[in-house]
Amino acid sequence: MPPAEIVRLPQPRFEGPISLEQTLLTRRSVRTLSRDPLTVDDLTQLLWAAQGITHPQGYRSAPSAGALYPLELYAVVGRVVGLAAGLYRYEEREHALAPKSDRDLRLELGAAALDQRPVERAPVSFLLTAVYARMTAKYGRRGVRYVDMEAGHAAQNLCLQAVALDLKSVVIGAFQDEAVKQVARLPADEEPLYLVPVGK
């Protein structure tokens, strides 16, 4: 794929129509998702909730031990109004998407995820990966635990934001790591931790 320009996202909203308590009450894992598209506004909120910048010093929406931020977030886009299908990495400092592939990778990613239909059908699946060395360089083996905890925080933020947008989500950890790395063409030092399909 030739180099593509970064995709600027609309600014996220900081107020919504539903309380945090209601999102907690109604959040459920939903595996039956329609093929209906999401909007770029939906996508922007979901990305920001998971890994967006929330402070002038660069702190993010999910806590990170030592503010080392070992996570990377990708959007596997199939159907988003106004955005081409493909694989995009979220650039949180610019609140933008960096295109990594111009192919619809949902079927390949679904196969890597043991043929789980939500990954194949959802208009967008989010891929959370980790560069463990960012954390273990400071915290040693304990840093592995901190990375895994952080991934949980980010995924929960994403799922709660989905509820606030009247969308459904499911967190998926059952996949073949090497196959996911190959489909997403991840760098050697990045490990896939979560897939989170989101849709209606």
Q: What is the CA radius of gyration of the chain?
A: 16
- Report which of residues 75 and 29 the model is more confident about: 75
Instruction: Quote the pLDDT of residue 5.
Output: 87
Contact 124/199 with Cβ under 8 angstroms?
Answer: yes
Backbone torsions φ then ψ of 97, nearest 5 degrees: -115, 135
Domains parsed from the chain with CATH numbers: 7-199 (3.40.109.10)
Q: Identify the helix (H) or strand (E) that includes residue 185.
A: none
Tell me the pLDDT tens digit for each residue of 38-60.
999 999 999 999 999 999 999 99
Q: Identify the helix (H) or strand (E) that includes residue 125.
A: strand 124-130
Contact 90/73 with Cβ under 8 angstroms?
Answer: yes
What is the three-class DSSP state of 134?
helix
Percent of the chain with pLDDT over 90: 94
Q: What is the mean pLDDT of the chain?
A: 95
How far is the C-alpha of 127 from the C-alpha of 185, rounded, in Å?
Answer: 12
Weakest-pLDDT range from 2-6, 71-75, 109-113, 180-184 = 2-6
What is the three-class DSSP state of 171?
coil
How far is the C-alpha of 114 from the C-alpha of 60, rounded, in Å?
Answer: 32
The owner of tokens 């299908």 is 85
Is it the case that residue 2 has pLDDT exceeding 80? no
Average pLDDT over residues 105-134: 97
Strands 191-199 and 80-81, sheet pairing: unpaired
Instruction: Quote the pLDDT of residue 68.
Output: 97
DSSP H helices, the chain, are 20-26, 40-51, 106-112, 117-121, 133-139, 142-164, 177-184
Is it the case that residue 92 has pLDDT exceeding 60? yes
Instruction: Quote the pLDDT of residue 1.
Output: 42
Give whole-number Cα distances, 16 to 43, 45, 158, in Å: 15, 10, 14
How far is the C-alpha of 7 from the C-alpha of 84, rounded, in Å?
Answer: 10
